[in-house]
């Protein structure tokens, strides 16, 4: 390669504050001919292994944009097939559809009428070739409280006590998830792969699985128990298991690996990063997570981000695109836009029709490194030069 061209490429890669619009992402500085990845579930379906390979491959090209519950509801609409706040603005769907599996699992499932909507949205996303990821804001199986009920430090201890009432209840919840997943099929009868991230934001204190209510060993044992039960007992072979600590301020490698369940139990390294209007923090943490991704040979991404009620006109190019340029992450997912047709509240984290950042979002959409639905390669066939074992 011409020395002057190489020098220019290296200079661009070092300038995080440059405007990345219309500038191509730089190639991986450490290219390899063939990459070999190890997946938690050795019996994963072919499409699950293919998706895993594509998550790795796409990191060297750019990142997929995602939005939580984008197909389920928006700022001014609810349960409209084909609906999407994202599509209303840019004419395309997000590449990643994020959804919550909690109501499928816990006792809300007995009264919920929304699980059929979740199923429809997931199938719609898969038929367009998009990627599905799922979190779980599970209720507290010991106290009956919600996800943020950290009033009893024995909840995980009771889950792990074989034969206890809480253990039996939690297994029933996992049984419900397994049934939903195994019945979740595309138009050709293939089970739909899902990036599944239980016990998210475990670095914080507010949830019953967080660091206030669990010891390090208890959290790791809970994670491993959940993976083993779904994979080996219920034979769910379409999950890619993702961990997602919360990283709101600049973090180190040790922070990302807090209570790490082990390389054999984690497929995907995520982070929930609510860094506010501070792109330097986002850039720092993106750099850190990408480094861990390469070290552990596991794809990575931002599983939640955004600023509630943001009004910045240049939010997308300044706060997301610029810090993400050259960072080698597979996806960046913004949190939800709450259904609020009268606009009485301000619980929204992404763009919608009429938002001040609409035109900037179009610039973001048109960037060569942001992938939306129409930009995706076939995510369900094996990526070239990536082997999954």
pLDDT tens readout for residues 239-266: 999 999 999 999 988 899 999 999 999 9
Closest by Cα among 303, 376, 374 to 86: 374
Show the domains of the chain with their CATH numbers.
34-388 (3.20.20.80)
| Furthest CA-CA distance within the chain | 68
pLDDT of residue 26: 53
Q: How does pLDDT run across 279-301, given as a tens digit for each residue?
A: 999 999 999 999 999 999 999 99
In whole angstroms, what is the distance from residue 162 CA to residue 299 CA? 34
Give the whole-angstrom CA distance, residue 232 versus residue 141: 22
Confidence of residue 127 (pLDDT cuts 50, 70, 90): very high
C-alpha span between 377 and 197 (Å, rounded): 24
pLDDT at 25 over 80: no
pLDDT at 12 over 50: no
The residues, any chain, with a CB within 8 Å of residue 127's CB and separated by 6 or more, are 186, 187
How many residues are recorded in the chain?
389
Give the Cα separation of 156 and 140 in Å (integer). 10
| DSSP state string for 274-300 | ---S-HHHHHHHHHHHHHHHHHHT--E
- Residue 29: which pLDDT band, with cuts at 50, 70 and 90? low
Q: How far is it, in rounded angstroms, from Cα 250 to Cα 288?
A: 9
Regarding pTM above 0.75, the answer is yes
pLDDT tens digits, residue range 146-158? 999 999 999 999 9
Is pLDDT of 23 > 90?
Answer: no
For residues 154 and 211, the answer to whether their CB atoms sit within 8 Å is: no
- Rounded alpha-carbon distances, angstroms, from residue 95 to 98, 142, 318: 10, 37, 21
> Exposed (0-12), middle (13-18) or buried (19+): which is 181, by Cβ within 10 Å?
buried
| pLDDT tens, position by position, 314-347 | 999 999 999 999 999 999 999 999 999 999 999 9
Region 171-193: mean pLDDT is 98
103, 130, 201, 218: the active-site residue: 201
Q: What share of the chain in percent tops pLDDT 90?
A: 89
Instruction: Verify whether residue 304 is a known catalytic residue.
Output: yes
pLDDT at residue 15 in the model: 39
Lowest mean pLDDT among 7-11, 196-200, 324-328: 7-11
At 27 the pLDDT is: 52
Strand partners, 239: 194
Distance CA 245, CA 260 (A): 10
Nearest to 372 by CA among 45, 66, 76: 66
In this prediction, residues 186-195 reach a mean pLDDT of: 98
> Would you say residue 9 has pLDDT above 50?
no
SS (H, E, C) 22-53: CCCCCCCCCCCCCEEECCCCCCCCHHHHHHHH
Mean per-residue pLDDT over the chain, rounded: 93
Three-state secondary-structure class, residue 268? strand
pLDDT for position 13: 39
Is residue 201 part of the annotated active site? The answer reads: yes
Within its chain, how far is the Cα of 244 from the centroid? Answer: 8
pLDDT band at 32 (very low <50, low <70, confident <90, very high): low
Query: Partners of 302 in the beta sheet?
Result: 271, 332
Which of 103, 130, 218, 304 is catalytic? The answer is 304
pLDDT 10s digits, 49-106:
999 999 999 999 999 999 999 999 999 999 999 999 999 999 999 999 999 999 999 9
pLDDT value at 4 more than 50: no
Residue 30: per-residue pLDDT: 58
- Confidence (pLDDT) at 103: 96
User: Nearest-CA neighbor of 181 among 238, 114, 99, 100?
Assistant: 238
Query: Hey, which residues does 242 pair with through a beta bridge?
Result: 268
- Please check whether residue 121 is in contact with residue 127, taking contact to mean a CB–CB distance below 8 angstroms: no
pLDDT score for 28: 56
The pLDDT value recorded for residue 245 is: 98
Distant-in-sequence, close-in-space partners of 354: CB < 8 Å, separation ≥ 6: none
Mean pLDDT value across residues 179-192: 97
pLDDT at 148: 97
Q: How far apart are CA 276 and CA 319, in angstroms?
A: 9
Q: How many CB atoms lie within 10 A of CB 308?
A: 13
The rounded distance, in Å, linking the Cα atoms of 349 and 69 is: 11
Could you read off the pLDDT of 201-232 as tens digits, one per residue? 999 999 999 999 999 999 999 999 999 999 99
Distance CA 282, CA 275 (A): 6
Which letter does DSSP use for residue 382 in this model?
P
Ramachandran category for residue 280: left, alpha or beta (phi over 0 → left; psi -120 to 50 → alpha): alpha
Provide the phi-psi class of 334: left if phi over 0, else alpha when psi is between -120 and 50, else beta.
beta
Is the separation of the CB atoms in 349 and 337 below 8 Å? Answer: yes
């Amino acid at each position: 390669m011409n020395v002057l061209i190489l020098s220019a490429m290296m200079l661009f890669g070092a300038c995080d504050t440059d405007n990345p619009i219309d500038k191509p992402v730089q190639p991986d500085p450490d290219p390899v001919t063939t990459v070999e990845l190890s997946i938690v579930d050795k019996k994963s379906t072919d499409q699950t292994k293919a998706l895993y390979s594509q998550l790795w491959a796409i990191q060297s090209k750019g990142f997929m944009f995602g939005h939580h519950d984008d197909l389920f509801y928006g700022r001014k609409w609810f349960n409209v097939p084909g609906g999407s706040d994202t599509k209303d603005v840019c004419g395309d769907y997000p590449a990643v559809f994020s959804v919550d599996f909690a109501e499928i699992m816990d006792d809300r499932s007995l009264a919920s009428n929304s699980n059929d909507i979740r199923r429809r949205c997931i199938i719609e996303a898969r038929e367009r070739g998009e990627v599905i990821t799922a979190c779980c804001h599970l209720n507290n199986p010991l106290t009956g409280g919600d996800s943020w009920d950290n009033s009893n430090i024995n909840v995980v201890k009771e889950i792990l006590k074989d034969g206890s009432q809480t253990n039996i209840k939690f297994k029933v919840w996992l049984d419900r998830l397994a049934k939903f997943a195994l019945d979740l099929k595309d138009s050709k009868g293939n089970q739909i792969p899902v990036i599944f991230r239980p016990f998210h934001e475990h670095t914080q204190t507010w949830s019953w699985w967080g660091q206030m209510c669990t010891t390090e060993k208890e959290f790791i044992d809970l994670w491993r128990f959940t993976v083993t039960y779904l994979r080996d007992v219920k034979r769910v072979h379409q999950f890619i298991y993702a961990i997602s600590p919360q990283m709101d301020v600049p973090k180190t490698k040790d922070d990302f690996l807090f209570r790490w369940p082990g390389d054999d139990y984690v497929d995907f390294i995520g982070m929930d990063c609510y860094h506010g209007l501070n792109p330097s923090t986002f850039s720092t943490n993106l750099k850190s997570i990408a480094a861990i991704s390469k070290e552990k040979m596991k794809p990575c991404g931002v599983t939640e981000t955004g600023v509630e009620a943001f009004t910045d006109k240049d939010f997308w190019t300044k706060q997301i695109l610029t810090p993400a340029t050259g960072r080698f992450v597979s996806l960046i997912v913004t949190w939800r836009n709450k259904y609020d047709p009268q606009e009485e509240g301000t619980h929204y984290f992404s763009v919608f029709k009429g938002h001040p950042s609409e035109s900037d979002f179009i610039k973001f959409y048109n960037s060569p490194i942001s992938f939306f639905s129409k930009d995706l390669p076939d995510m369900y066939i094996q990526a070239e030069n990536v082997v999954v074992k």
